[in-house]
Amino acid sequence: MSRNDRIEIARVSGALGAEVTGVDLSQPLDPETVQLLRAAWMEHQVLFYPEQKLSDANLERFTSYFGPFGKEPFVDGISTDHPNVLAVIKEADEKRKANFGGNWHSDWSFQDAPPAGTFLYALQVPPYGGDTMWANQYLAYEMLSPGLQRLLDDMEAMHSAKRPYGRQGIYADKSQARSMKIRTGIEAEEEIAHPVVRVHPETGRKALYVNQVYTIRFKDMTSAESAPLLDYLFAHATRPEFICRNRWRQGTLTMWDNRCTQHYAVNDYDGFRRELHRTTCAGDAPAGPHQQQRPVAAQ
Ligand code: SIN
């Protein structure tokens, strides 16, 4: 029996997501196993590995199998030894406060080359609540009418970190998400254009690529002009039939593909502490259906 014969992959919803068992991520993996996991990731978009016992170094090693680390803006790493590991924390006494990731988004979509993947490992979870949801953006695109697909195929939208991280952003109020090492400032107010429909560089499939945290308007349009169609797309992109939901257990590692999913950390656990450690791997500059894929930008 080869090492990979023990790996089982089971879907968790009709839309996306699969649970992977039979692999110990605290140990180095051989190339064949990494290839198997990458193929499963491309198929299911989100993978859940329950009952892992990982150090930060283990988390970094596993992340590195999928590419160089992504660049983490606005949130500092846990230590100089582990600058690529972020602690996602909400303390028990942070009641009625914003949580990190508590609205639909694709990670750091305001970057020139946003991270391809995010890895999130649960150290401490509430007894109930604090789930995370993911939405399949291939399905979101495929379920639009052909007319709207054609229109969106040629459009670009502006992304910015200003709503959460700008000078007037949510986190500029230091009482919000105060347990996180978050920085805010003028540099969060830059805007960058990305295609509204993104061609996945590995699968070649088209995915809707707008999200309500970072997408602020369509290119060459005002916010007011953009709002009706953007609001429609935000609501459409997160329809229940496009979603899976993870009830975290201590020891679960989740990895997701930011190029074809959005996610939402549900803030329904006031009074309980939640801590997860997070890494990202670098991605490409998003390319639309009529654009050449551009190489990963130096980050
Ligand atoms: C995030 O958006 O990376 C945080 C997700 C979570 O805490 O569940």
Going from the Cα of 148 to the center of ligand 1, the distance in angstroms, rounded, reads: 31
State the amino acid at position 153 in one-letter form: D
Tell me the pLDDT band of 96, cut-offs 50, 70 and 90. Answer: confident
Checking if the pLDDT of 52 tops 50, the result is yes
Q: Whose CA is nearest to atom 7 of ligand 1?
A: 265
C-alpha of residue 142 to centroid of ligand 1, in Å:
26
The mean-pLDDT minimum among 38-52, 146-160, 167-181 falls in: 167-181
CA distances from 249 to 163, 239, 253, 264, 283 (A): 31, 25, 9, 17, 28
Q: Give residue 180's pLDDT band: very low, low, confident or very high (50, 70, 90).
A: confident
Q: Is 278 in the pocket of ligand 1 (CB under 6 A)?
A: yes
Residue, of 172 and 59, whose pLDDT is higher: 59
pLDDT beyond 70 at 234: yes
> Strands, E, within 160-222: which ranges?
192-195, 197-199, 206-208, 215-218
Q: Is 132 in the pocket of ligand 1 (CB under 6 A)?
A: yes
- CA dist., res. 213 & res. 159, Å (int): 9
Lookup: tokens for 214: 């970072």
Q: Span 32-58, mean pLDDT?
A: 98
> What integer is the mean pLDDT of 22-45?
98
Write out the E strands in the chain: 8-11, 18-21, 46-49, 86-90, 117-124, 132-136, 156-159, 192-195, 197-199, 206-208, 215-218, 243-246, 253-257, 261-265, 274-281
Domains in the chain (CATH in brackets) are 3-281 (3.60.130.10)
List C-alpha distances in Å: 240 to 15, 78, 141, 164, 254.
9, 35, 15, 25, 20
Residue 74 has a CB neighbour count (10 Å cut-off) of: 18
Q: What is the pLDDT of residues 236-294, one digit of tens each?
A: 999 999 999 999 999 999 999 999 999 999 999 999 999 999 999 999 999 999 987 76
Q: What percent of the chain has pLDDT over 90?
A: 90
- Is pLDDT of 299 > 70? no
Does any ligand 1 atom lie closer than 6 A to the CB of residue 258? no
Q: Which atom of ligand 1 lies nearest, measured to the CA of 266? A: 8
Q: Would the CB of 100 count as within 6 Å of ligand 1?
A: yes
pLDDT band (50, 70, 90) for residue 3: low
- Predicted confidence band of residue 2 (pLDDT cuts 50, 70, 90): low
Evaluate whether 236 touches 211 at the Cβ level (below 8 Å): no
**Strand bridging mode 192-195 / 197-199:** unpaired
Provide mean pLDDT across the span 28-44: 98
- Ligand 1 centre distance from Cα of residue 91 (Å): 15
DSSP state of 260: T
Position 161 scores a pLDDT of 97
Minimum mean pLDDT range among 4-8, 57-61, 153-157:
4-8
The reported pLDDT for the residue numbered 260 is 98
Q: How far apart are CA 288 and CA 263, in angstroms?
A: 21
Which atom of ligand 1 approaches the CA of 118 most closely? 3
Single pTM value for the model = 0.95
Residue 117, pLDDT above cutoff 80: yes
Pairing relation of β-strands 46-49 and 18-21? parallel
Band of pLDDT at residue 143, cut at 50, 70 and 90: very high
Closest Cα to atom 1, ligand 1: which residue? 101
Ligand 1 centroid to 5 CA: how many Å? Answer: 32
Give the count of beta carbons closer than 10 Å to the beta carbon of residue 79: 10
- What the block records as the tokens of 272 is 């309980």
* Bigger pLDDT: 145 vs 3: 145
Atom of ligand 1 lying closest to residue 99 CA: 7
Average pLDDT, rounded, for the chain: 95
> Whose alpha carbon is nearest atom 6 of ligand 1?
265
Please state the φ and ψ torsions of residue 153, each to the nearest 5 degrees.
Answer: -55, -30
Q: Is 264 in the pocket of ligand 1 (CB under 6 A)?
A: no
Cβ–ligand 1 contact at 125 (below 6 Å): no
Could you tell me the two tokens for 95? Answer: 């009641």
User: Mind listing the pLDDT tens digit for each residue in 61-86?
Assistant: 999 999 999 999 999 999 999 999 99
112 CA to middle of ligand 1, Å?
21
